[in-house]
């Protein structure tokens, strides 16, 4: 049994083809080839935070995975990351624990950012002229990092509530080759950007629209992963030509789609699933004029694929067989 700590996992990540692994997982999920029970969830008010327990397996695979990931959003005030967690990988043949991945939430952050890149790959218009980012935290940084191979665009407009955090974000992303300009108005992103990624744990819409949306706009929403979170106003979802969920069943219970369906803005039959778009079983963006939304609430199949990939890479690299806790 292996125990891999965060630094070991960081060293293994560049050796793994994450986009390929996650795309395969999404396709298997949408084709009904995985078992993914409903999300386990703990919600906290003081201080604000949430804990998600996601687990499952892919049919015929050698492993099943249980992941516990938390987000406590006032942690940065204490000098701590807002994310934490671990993944447990078991043999699907014997039930034996094969690996403990003490990633401290890193793999959840990475697989979320990779999913954002996949959504842009299949749904964003071409060319991407300017990227809009809502938020300045871990996902705001990682989404840009993993978008880099998908597009040549390095022009970014960012909105955040805290001016110092916005300045820090500008500096950090400039070191990765992005030209980042701030805006005090989130609505400016809708006017100037044709790819927007929302990354906040907001409980009220951050992006609102009462008029028409610009042709060709794509929005990837990753922040609203619980029933009470919401980043997009109803007018935005109402005007979308294409709405894609990472998991239709899960998005009916949480995230942007959950709110839109509950309010009668969107019908379940009008939602497509990301894995079906990747495989070609469902059409994705059909014209550059369409307005599209990807609602990514995080599916256990992503955790299965990334945990398995890291573990198997560690075996190939001959990493230590394990340490005792």
321 against 261, higher pLDDT: 261
183-201 tens-digit pLDDT: 999 999 999 999 999 999 9
Q: Which of 67, 121, 126, 267 is catalytic?
A: 67
Q: Report residue 325's pLDDT band, with 50, 70 and 90 as the boundaries.
A: very low
67 noted as active-site residue: yes
Q: What is the pLDDT of residue 324?
A: 41
Q: Does 2-108+301-316 match 113-298 in CATH topology? A: no
Q: Compute the distance between CA of residue 325 and CA of residue 323 in angstroms, rounded to an integer.
A: 6
Q: What is the DSSP letter of 207?
A: B
Q: Report residue 212's pLDDT band, with 50, 70 and 90 as the boundaries.
A: confident
Q: How far is CA 26 from CA 22, 77, 119, in A?
A: 6, 36, 11
Q: What is the DSSP letter of 212?
A: P
Considering only the top CATH level, what class is 113-298?
Answer: alpha beta
Q: What is the pLDDT of residue 318?
A: 79
The answer to whether the Cα torsion of 281, 35, 237, 18 is positive or negative is: negative
Among the listed ranges 160-169, 205-214, 225-234, 301-310, which one has the minimum average pLDDT value? 205-214
Task: Check whether 322 has a pLDDT greater than 70.
Answer: no
Domain 2-108+301-316 has CATH 3.30.1780.10: yes
Task: Check whether 289 has a pLDDT greater than 90.
Answer: yes
Q: Compute the distance between CA of residue 75 and CA of residue 85 in angstroms, rounded to an integer.
A: 14
Q: What is the pLDDT of residue 319?
A: 54
Domain boundaries, the chain: 2-108+301-316, 113-298
Residue 258 phi, psi dihedral angles, 5° rounding: -55, -50
């Amino acid at each position: 049994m292996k125990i891999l700590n965060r630094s070991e996992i960081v060293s293994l990540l560049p050796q793994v083809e994450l986009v390929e692994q996650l795309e395969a997982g999404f396709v298997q999920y949408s084709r009904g080839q995985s078992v993914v029970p409903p999300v386990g969830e703990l919600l906290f008010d003081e201080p604000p935070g949430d804990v998600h327990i996601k687990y499952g397996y892919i049919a015929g695979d050698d492993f099943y995975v249980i992941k516990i990931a938390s987000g406590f959003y006032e942690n940065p005030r204490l000098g701590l990351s807002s994310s934490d967690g671990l993944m447990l990988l078991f043999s699907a043949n014997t039930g034996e624990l094969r690996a403990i991945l003490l990633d401290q939430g890193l793999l959840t952050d990475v697989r979320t950012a990779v999913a954002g890149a996949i959504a842009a790959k299949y749904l964003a218009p071409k060319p991407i002229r300017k990227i809009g980012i809502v938020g300045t935290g871990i996902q705001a940084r990682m989404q840009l990092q993993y978008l880099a191979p998908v597009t040549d665009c390095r022009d970014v407009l960012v909105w955040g509530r805290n001016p110092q955090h916005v300045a820090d974000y500008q500096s950090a992303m400039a070191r990765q080759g992005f030209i980042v300009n701030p805006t005090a108005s989130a609505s400016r992103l809708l006017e100037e950007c044709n790819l927007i990624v929302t990354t906040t744990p907001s409980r009220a819409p951050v992006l609102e629209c009462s008029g028409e949306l610009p042709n060709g706009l794509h929005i990837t929403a990753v922040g609203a992963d619980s029933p009470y979170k919401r980043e997009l106003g109803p007018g935005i979802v109402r005007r979308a030509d294409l709405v894609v969920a990472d998991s239709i069943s899960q998005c009916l219970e949480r995230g942007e789609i959950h709110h839109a369906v509950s309010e009668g803005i969107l019908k379940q039959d009008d939602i497509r699933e990301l894995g079906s778009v990747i495989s070609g079983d469902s059409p994705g963006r059909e014209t550059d004029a369409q307005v599209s939304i990807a609602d990514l609430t995080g599916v256990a199949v992503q955790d299965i694929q990334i945990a398995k990939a890291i573990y198997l890479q560690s075996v190939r690299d001959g990493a230590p067989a394990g340490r005792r806790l």
